[in-house]
Each structure stands twice: as structure tokens, then as C-alpha cells.
Amino acid sequence: MQSLWNDADAPRFEGPLGQRVYTSRLLGQDHSLVLHGGGNTSVKIRQANLFREPEDVLYVKGSGWDLETIEAQGFAPVRLEHARRLATLEQLSDEQMVQQLRAAMTDPSAPTPSVETILHALLPARFVDHTHADALLAITNTSDGERRVREIYGDSVVVPYIMPGFDLARLVAELLPKHQSPNTVGLVLLNHGFFSFGDSARESYERMIELVSRAEAYLAAHAAVGPPVRVTTPPPVEYVELAALRRQVSQVAGAPMIMTTHTGARETSFVQRDDLAVITQQGPATPDHVIRTKRLPQLGSDVAAYAEAYAAYFAEHAAQTKQPLKMLDPAPRVALDPDIGLVTFGRTAQDAAIAFDVYSHTIDVILRAEALGGYLALSAAEIFAVEYWDLEQAKLKRGSSTPTFAGEVALVTGAASGIGKATVEALLRRGAAVVGLDLNPGVKDLFGKRVDFLGLETDVTREQDIAQALESAGRAFGGLDMLVLNAGIFGASRRIESLGLQEWRTVMDVNLDANLVLLRAAYPLLRCAPRNGRVVVIGSKNVPAPGPGAAAYSASKAALNQLARVAALEWGADGIRVNVIHPNAVFDTSLWTEDVLRSRAANYGLSVEDYRKNNVLRIEVTSRDVAEMAAEMCGPLFSRTTAAQVPVDGGNERVI
């Protein structure tokens, strides 16, 4: 492993805390060292307090911060003396520990210090770095792991596995003076990770690289690099089957879950291994990331059985802890199926993506450990202890407010601009994962690299394109809960006597026929929606009050309106709600260029300003106003409403 230290970058980070930020980010960049909020670092700084007395303060990574992107304010300042004294206590519950550390901070608004703070305080060096390196886990998670580790790290202090927190700090306090030598550059924690330390940020960081490199060299010397990836293609899976699996997992989780399917060569060749059950049903590579895995012999066949077994496992181990524990939801976060691939679940698309990243590293560890002689994870009791320790429970108790559409998936047509784009934004704001379809290829990059948005260049008038879009949606997020039919065209303004059949058909194709195809294809997915499916149709004021010169548009929207009403009748028994919005005079869409706006205003003898507000309320109507209505129609406010037609038009005299 190469050091990423760069003499040009380093001086831009000033002072010891700046240097601490710099090398923390170097560690965070490499996901084979730390994953998503894992790992932690610290620096001890002497500074003057308010009374101008010198005081030693430990700046340690705060919870909620990721080393990759950490800033100075991501480090919690804890009075060193107090943190060290805590280690002299006989006992300290996790809850007390957090309370004590928070009380010892010099800035009460700083984040909660890492659970490994006391250990950082006890290590005498100025800078301390801690990672959960994959290379070490591959060596330590074998039956002969401890012997191998002692062989590689004879000059370091080797610490047996113990849960992170107060007990681990106490154990290190006991072992360090006994085993430390002048050559000691770090601690090796079995089944857990490395601690390195040094007088400068660079020294501590480069000692970490040195520790990891030794593990890598050992693996290379023992040809433990894992088997080559066989390129195999999984059989195609019906997206409806994926949605059925997602529904089952959501049911046992008690809330809608995002489900992401991965079928890359690496994942596919892993899930198709003959010994999959043996190597994957033992536990996680590191207690820092507990990922519950289920192998599905047949698609969706035993999610309920898994949940039952999990509940029994919980009851058995909880009884031993003598603490009132609340069970986490019993749904798996990873499922392995030879026919569909590696599937991850999360309450958000982000959580499902993190589960994938974590499990990808677990695969690395498993394959290398297998090559070394056999993967062996922690015992069930130890995994249980990690999953249910006080801090996890505290997290559960705190609970954070869940967005309305967390775990749910929406599909919006015509998503690249205007009402469609605003609707995507409204749904994302409410926590949904969104698939956006548009003819415009720009839809793909509409929101940068967000994992909760999938933009697909799609011609909605092609049946094949629709099927492909739904399959992509199924693989990305697991199904469909909400469908917003927005894509539409206006056509040229023309009186009936000069309206060509082809022109008429083009408008009908997009505004009507395409929506029939999409509704038909989406129905089996909407029926599987954990909280029931919802459809919102973007109609038009032209339905109740058609305009001259817009025969094709008005007729197509009226027919679409009728289609929506029939869908509401037919699908009501499945719990699917279908509602319609009739917007009017929404001028911030691509249909309305400045030129069109000016000429239309002139037609009515109005200024552009007056034309924009030419309604009963004398108020402008924007895409966002329509989008907010569309999102609300999918939410609890409309839970008892189907087949409603709601105008968003500022009031129109012809409609009223």
C-alpha cells in the first residue's frame, strides 16, 4: 500500500489540527482501510483555556463524520485528563461513557466523540490513527489467524478481540505497558483493525500504511489474492419477481425498503460459488459493520423464515445480556441468490448503496481468507453483542424523523424539465428514490451523482423502451410505489379544418397511448408496493375547458383523464390510488419560450406580466406548485382519495 502523503498538499493544512484533517482524509479515501464513517483519528493539543491556563485537549473524530470528508469541526475536543481518568474506573456503561465524554468537551456544540475515545486518550503519542483494514481482516478471520498475526507483527502489541468501547480501552491500558517495545509503532486488534501512532500526522499515517503493507505482503506471499473472477451472466429476472421480493422484505422490516440488485461479474461469480452457504453464513468481517446476510435458495422463498430465525436468535442472546433491549428490524440487509445476484436493502437508496460497499469489502476479505486456509468470522454471540450494544440501542431510541417517502420508489415521465423536473425534486425532498424518464439524454445527469436518482433516456412511445425502463427501475430500487404521468406535447396551434391526421396521431401517441402502455406495464409493480401504489396524472385545464386551436391536445388530455378514472375504478381493490391534476398557465416550462409568451399575451391585449397572472386569484402558477400537489397526492393527505381532479391554475372562470 502506497502512502498518499503529498508535500505540495500537506502545508495547506495549518497547525496540528489541520495536519490531522489532512491525513485523516488520506485514510478515508481508501475504502479498503475504512468504510463510511468507520475508523477514527485523533490529535492531542495543548491550548490555553478561558483562564489562560494550559490545558491538554484530545481532538478525536466525532460521530456522524466520515474520515474521507472530515473538517476541523468534525473533531470533538475532549479534556485529555478526564478521558484518561475514566480508564481507571472498574466499570462504565456505554451510556455513562458517552455522557462523561460529552461533559468533558471544551465545546458543547461539537459532535459526540468516537466510542474509541478513551483508547485514543490512553495512547501516549500525539497523533493516533485507527482503521479496519481489509488485508488484516482477511488474515485474522481464519482459524489460525492469531498465530499468523503474531508472526507478522511480533514487534507490535496484539490485542485479542473485545467489543470497542470502555472494555477495549481498559484491556489496552493493561497490555500496552507489558508488551510495548521501543520498536512498537502500533496495535493490532484481532478481528477488528489497527491503531498506529506517532509524533507527527505524517509519522502516524505512514506507520499505518506500513502496518497494512505488511499484511498485504503476507497475503501475496501466501498467494491469498482470491480466485480469478469468472465472467458469468445471471439469467434474466422478471422485474415483477424483484418487486415481490422487495415487498416481502419490506413486510418483515415493517416499512418500505429500497432494494438494489448487483449483477457485475464479480458479484455474480461470488453468489454462484458452490460453497456460498458455508462462507457467507458466519458473520461480518468486522464488528464495525454488521451486515445481516441471507442466502436465498429460491427467489423470495424464505424471507419470512429468515425473520423468524432472527427473532429467535435475538430472544436467545438478549436473555443472556440481562438488559432490556429493543430488537432492530429483522429484515436482511444483504441477500445472495445465484439466479439474481447480490441484492442489498436499506431504508434509503444511500443505505442500500452503503450495504453494497460494505459487503463488497466483505467479499474481498472472505475470498482472501478462503485462499489462506478458510474464512472464520466472529461467533454469533460476539456479533450479537456488537449489534445490540448500548450505543446502537441509543441510536434506536433517539430515532430520527423519517421522511414521508423513505424506502419508496417513484417514476416520473418527462423528467428533464418543467413540471416533471420539479416533481422529481419534490419527491426527492420527501425521501423517495426516483426514476426519471425523458427523451432528452440530459436526464441522465440531471442531479449529478445522487444514488437516489436514476435518469433514463427513454422514448415513452416505444413499448420496448418502457419495459427496459421498468427493468432498470427494478434493479436499481426494487420496484415502484408511485407513478407520475407527466410527459406530454402540445402540438402546433391549428384549427380542425387544417389538422392533419399524422399530427393528431403524434399528439395522441405521446399524451395518451404511451400512458396506457406505461400504466399496463407498471400495474404488477404498483400492486406489489408495500404501502400501496399511487398514480398521479398531469392533466390540463383543457379537459374541463378546452381551447380553440388545440383539438389534438385537448382531446388527448380528455381521453387520458377518462383512462385515469377507469384505472381508479379497476385498481381500487388493489389499494392503488389514481388522481389527476389540471394545471393551467404554468409558464416556467420548456413549452413556453419568451417569444411564445409575448405573442400569446399580445393576442389577449395583455402585458406578459398580466398574462402570467390572468386568473381569478391574480397569482402566478409555477412548476413547483404543480409538483408539490403531485407529491402530496402520493402522501397520507390523499390516502382516502382516488379519481380526484384537482385544478392548480389560480382559479379559472371557465372551469368554475
Which cell numbers in the block locate residue 40? Answer: 477514527
For the question of residue 553 being annotated catalytic, the response is yes
Written as one string, the DSSP assignment of 227-294 is: PPPP---PPP--HHHHHHHHHHHHHHHTS--EEEEE--HHHHHHHT-TTHHHHHSS--SSTTS---EE
Return d(Cα 213, Cα 480) in angstroms, integer. Answer: 46
Q: Residue holding cell 502523503?
A: 5
- Residue 373, class by beta-carbon neighbours within 10 Å (0-12 exposed, 13-18 middle, 19+ buried)? middle
Q: To 5 degrees, how large is the angle CA 111–CA 168–CA 2?
A: 75
Residue 66, exposed/middle/buried by CB under 10 A (0-12, 13-18, 19+)? middle
- Contact yes or no for 232/323 (Cβ under 8 A): no
Q: What CA–CA distances, in Å, run from 232 to 173, 340, 489?
A: 50, 12, 43
Task: Give SS3 for 632.
Answer: helix
Torsion of CA 364, 333, 350, 20, to 10 degrees: -50
Percent helix, strand, coil in the chain, to 5, is 45, 15, 40
CA atoms in the 13 A half-sphere facing the CB of 240? 8
Contact yes or no for 241/300 (Cβ under 8 A):
yes
Element (H, E) at 108: none
Note the Cα 17 to chain centre separation in Å.
Answer: 30
DSSP string, 357-390: HHHHHHHHHHHHHHHHT-B----HHHHHHHHTSH
What is the chain's Cα-based Rg?
30
Active-site residue identified among 59, 375, 553, 611? 553
Burial track 158-181 (b if 16+ CB lie within 10 A, e otherwise): bbebbebbbebbbebbeebeeeee
Backbone angles phi, psi at 362, to 5 degrees: -60, -40
Residues classed as catalytic = 553
